[in-house]
Every structure is written in C-alpha cells, then in structure tokens.
Amino acid sequence: MSRFEWRAAPGGGRIELRGMVTGGGELAPLVTSAGARAELVLDVGGIRAFTSSGVQGWIDFLQALRGNGCQLVFERCSPAIVKQTCAIYDFLCGGAVRSLIVPYVCTTCDREAQEELMVSRTPPVVAMTRPCSCGGEMELDDLPQIYVALLAEAAAHA
C-alpha cells in the first residue's frame, strides 16, 4: 500500500495511520481532527515508508500536535517508524513509545509475520528467530540493533 490513509476513533483520542507518508499536506487534516487534548495515541503499525518530503511533513505534523497541547503516544511502531526514529534525532518529537512491530520472514516458505513487543521497564528480548507454521524457521527481517535500541530508550522513559 502506497496510498496514505488515516482513521480517527470516535472521540478523537486515537488515530490509525497507514501507507506511505509523502508530504505534509496529507497530514494537515489530522491536526484539526485531533484537536487539543491531553493525550493522543497514534497507531503507526500501518506506516510502510516515508519520502524525504514525507519525513519533514511528519515532523511538522507532530510539532503542530504538540503545539496544540497533545501528549503523543505511539503504538505498534512499524519497521519504517523504527528506522526513521533511529536515523533522525527526535523523529517522534518527544512522544512516548508503547509498542513496536518486529518483522520476521521464513527461510523455508517465505511467509512473513510480525510480532508486537510492548515497552516495559525491563525491555523485552528481540528474538532473532521464531518457528514458522510450515515447520521452518523465521528470521528477524531487519537489523536487531535498531529494535533493541528503541525498546531500551522507550523503557528508560516509561
């Protein structure tokens, strides 16, 4: 999915984001939709990628939400979010991370799977492998260090 989509929960305290972030224009309506609130949960498990202008639009979007008084909470941080967070200082604009999505791929059948890891005071272990339903073994489909680093940083602020 490359098209960007979002869905706000009734009451507006939670927004689910999906697709590729290509610029600030697609994010601007969310600032109005979220309004001013104490906490805004962003489910970013569906974010697949960012263009370079999408990165700037993302940061501008989060800063606008913070300017409205929103405390940002990120759930289900996708691999795209995790990578950008490790590459760009304050990519989440001071928001709290509640969970990450860790990707796996089977070396036997090429099946893909994801595991959600919750942030806690004691960071969970990022498994390098896990069993696949085909009987084969799934391997972590990314650099483990970036997940370990973000989990440890998030745990320090939990």
First-to-final CA distance of the chain: 32
Each residue's pLDDT tens digit, 106-141: 999 999 999 999 998 887 889 999 999 999 999 999
Each residue's pLDDT tens digit, 80-101: 999 999 999 999 999 999 999 9
Q: How far apart are CA 97 and CA 102, in angstroms?
A: 14
Task: Enter the pTM of the model.
Answer: 0.91
E strands, 22-125, in order:
39-50, 71-75, 96-97, 99-106, 112-118
Angle subtended at Cα 39 by Cα 34 and Cα 42, rounded to the nearest 5 degrees: 65
- What token pair was written down for 52? 């370079």
